[in-house]
Amino acid sequence: MSILETTEISVRFGGHMAVDGVSLRVPEGAITGLIGPNGAGKTTTFNVITGLQAPTRGKVHLAGKDVTRLSAHKRARAGVGRTFQRLELFGSLSVRDNVLTAVELNRVPGEDPRRAASSHLERVGLADLAGVRADTLSTGNARLLELARSLACRPRVLLLDEPASGLDDEETDRFADILGELAADGLAVLLVEHDVPLVMRLCHDITVLNFGRVLAQGSPSVIQADQQVIDAYLGQGTDVGAAR
């Protein structure tokens, strides 16, 4: 059962189709990959799903309910969480307060917000940095903090926009472990990532976008063998070299 489903969503910026008829299904308990070269429309797709960008066409369903016209904060409360490619931390707040804000906005009766925030920080390994200002974090830690913050919103679907860029190998491994645990807990994860090897390792199902359209969809081995995908990533060989 896919908890999140987009149907033929399109976004037009002026004369340019940033997203053109993209249909996705994100099932619970699995990590779904969304990859593609720069400018393929991945972040715009995320913005449509989270309600930051209204689609020109198409529908977004969450748990079978049409949420296309719902505002961003209501969608968040309905269970859509995300991180940002261009980090959107609350830089003037401490690391703890970043998570605490998220906990308070999505409170469960009877829960101690501070304790909940601490446990989220521990999960991503930032407990030692709880007191520092968020804008002093390294990229790797900042991405982990965004992950912790989005988890504190108790999402049913988690959208991660290039969470591993700027992470070193060790951090990437830790991050991959956390993602695996989350999926095992039943969370639906949609992962946009430029580190394609990582995507191949983590995802059960991958969608490749190019020029706003779906280029290929399938399991990692199918994607790796797809000539169109290879061309989209590496480019087509040109014959101009022969002239030299």
Partner 1 sequence: MSAAAPSGPGAEVPLLELRGVTAGYGRIQVLHGVDLVVPRGEVVALLGPNGAGKTTTLLVATGQHPVSSGCVHVAGRHVNGVRAEELARLGLCTIPEGRGVFRSLTVRENLRMASYRGVDESLLVERAVARFPRLGERLGQVAGTLSGGEQQMLAMARGLATDPALLIIDELSMGLAPLIVAELYELVAGIAREGVSILVVEQFARTVLGVADRAVIMQHGQVVAAGVPADLEAELSAAYLGASP
Partner 2 sequence: MNDLLSLLVLGLASAAIYAVAASGLVVTYTTSGIFNFAHGAVAMVSAFVYWQLSSPDAWGLPVPVALVLTLFVFAPGLGWGIDRLLMRRLHDASPMIRIVVPIGLLVALIQVATVIWPPGELTASVPLFFAGRSVELGGVVIEYHQLVVFAAAIAVAIGLRILLYGTRIGVAMRAVVDSRELAALNGVSPDRVSGLAWALGCSLAALAGILVAPILKLDQTQLTLLVINAYAVAMVGRLRSLPMAAVGAVILGLSREAASRYDESLPFWITKDTVPALMLFVVLLVVPQEKASVFRDQPDRSSVPDPSWRTVVLGCIGLVVAALVVPAVFEGRTLDAVGYGMALSIVALSLVPLTGFAGQISLAPLAFAGIGAVVMYRWGSDGNPLALVAVVALCAAVGALVALPALRLKGLYLALSTFAFALFCEKAVFPNVDEFSQGDASYERLHLGPWTAASDRSYLVLLTVAFVVLALGVTALRRGPMGRRLQAMKDSPAACATMGLDLTALKLEVFALSAAIAGLGGALLGGWRGKLGTEQFSLLAGALPGLPLVLLTVVGGIAAVSGALVGGLALAMFPEIAEAVPALANLMTVLPGLAGISLAANPDGAVAQTVAQVGAAIERLRGQAPPRDTGPARALALLAPAAPSMVPERIAVGASAAGVDLAAVDDETGLAWGRCRVDP
Residue 91 binds to partner 2 (criterion: CB under 8 A)? yes
Residue 77 binds to partner 2 (criterion: CB under 8 A)? yes
- Residue 109 has, within 13 A of its CA and on its CB side, a CA count of 0
Strands 57-62 and 65-66, how do they pair? antiparallel
| Chosen from partner 1, partner 2, none, partner binding at 54 (C-beta under 5 to 8 Å by type) | none
Distance CA 66, CA 79 (A): 13
The candidate with the shortest Cα–Cα distance to 176, out of 189, 186, 126, is: 189
Residue 141-160 contact track with partner 2, rule CB under 8 A, x = bound: --------xx--x-------
Residue 68 binds to partner 2 (criterion: CB under 8 A)? no
In the three-class reduction of DSSP (H, G, I as helix; E, B as strand; rest coil), residue 217 is classed as strand
Site for partner 2 in 208-237 (CB under 8 A): none
* Least distance from partner 2 to the Cβ atom of residue 26, Å: 16
* Least distance from partner 1 to the Cβ atom of residue 107, Å: 33
What is the binding site for partner 1 (CB under 8 A)?
37-39, 135-136, 138-139, 162, 165-166, 168, 194-201, 211, 224-225, 229-231, 233-244
Residue 15 binds to partner 2 (criterion: CB under 8 A)? no
The single residue among 54, 105, 184, 225 that binds partner 2, judged by CB under 8 A, is 105
For the chain, the distance separating the N- and C-terminal CA atoms, rounded to the nearest angstrom, is: 55
| Chosen from partner 2, partner 1, none, partner binding at 185 (C-beta under 5 to 8 Å by type) | none
Distance CA 46, CA 163 (A): 13
Distance CA 100, CA 114 (A): 7
Name every residue whose Cβ is closer than 8 Å to that of residue 239 and which is 6 or more positions away in sequence. Answer: none
77: which 2 tokens? 């409360």
Name every residue whose Cβ is closer than 8 Å to that of residue 18 and which is 6 or more positions away in sequence. Answer: 11, 12, 41, 44, 212
Residue 55 binds to partner 2 (criterion: CB under 8 A)? no
The single residue among 62, 89, 188, 198 that binds partner 2, judged by CB under 8 A, is 89
Residues that bind partner 2 (CB under 8 A): 50-52, 71-77, 80-82, 84, 88-93, 97-98, 100-102, 104-106, 133, 135, 149-150, 153
